[in-house]
Amino acid sequence: MPSDDLPPDPAQQNIPVVGEAESGQKILQFLQRRLNLPPALLHRWIRTGQVRLNGGRCKPFARVQTGDMLRLPPFALKMAAQSGAAPTTAATQAPPPPEGDQGRIPPLPPVVGTAGAIWALRKPAGLPTHPGTGHSDSLATRLAARYDQAAFRPTPAHRLDKDTSGVLLVAASFEALRRLQEAIRERALIKEYVAWVRGGWPWAETRLLRHHLRKETARGYEKMRAVNANGAAREALCLVRPLRVRAGESLLLIRLFTGRTHQIRVQLASLGHPVLGDAKYGPQARPAESGPMYLHALRVILPGGRVFACLPDWAGEHAVSVLPEVMAAPANLPPEIPVAESFPLAGNEAI
């Protein structure tokens, strides 16, 4: 009588093989992506031994590696087909994003550069990173549509606001996604922006901005606010260096150390210098001022030193035609930064 612990026969139709792009995922994640079935159902199959990893029993949070084989219940693939899951194999890897015509699928943004399974795309203003209330089109949905049969669908590794343009990193493998997210958590991924703001920036040197931000809701409308430090607020840190200062507006180079929602926009607005064209955190725009929001993700530097950069397509007096030098900053910030090195709030009120 054959043992349940013998290696599975790859000729069976219900045995998916783990591809390189999928390696490192928890087995539950792997099955969710492959089968598009409820996590509770998959968890039960694993717990009761109906799913075997390389011939043996496994736990839901065991991680799969390239070449691993999973035996599934005989009805699993039929259920997956009924759920609408696209058939994938270990060989179905995502090719680099296309540069030219992409047919009926909405086009992907232009490619800034690639580093293996890490892609840098130039997200245009107006395209959300992820789908949300009131909009289904997004970079994530376009990637999913174009690579619907890839073993691992390319995924944005971070986000940019809908009206922010510039460099956005996409991971074309699970391992690339894990590395990028780890680098972001450890502040090892350098992200620099340029922004035109209202008013003459008053400091000539590079300055650290330190605020505490909290999401507030009024009449169903969500907005981030700078508040005094408390348990509900999250610290926001960035460096700012002026590039051009003139009467009425200034061009700033900004390096993020934290990635809070709308962070740059809120921090600058709280100091009286909102981003030009920002209707949410700046003054209400008059019809004559309608136009883009002048905030652009200029440059991303990977931990190994690979640089992806693109200039904004702003025209006229707001054009930026020269890539500024990378802002000098310590590799790691201390846990507590003296208040004397930051901009305190002007008062106790939320701005």
Active site residues: 161
Residue 176 and residue 297: Cα distance in Å, rounded? 21
Inter-residue contact 43 to 60 (CB < 8 Å):
yes
Residue 36 and residue 147: Cα distance in Å, rounded? 15
Torsion of CA 78, 84, 85, 87, to 10 degrees: 70
Inter-residue contact 167 to 273 (CB < 8 Å):
no
Inter-residue contact 194 to 318 (CB < 8 Å):
no
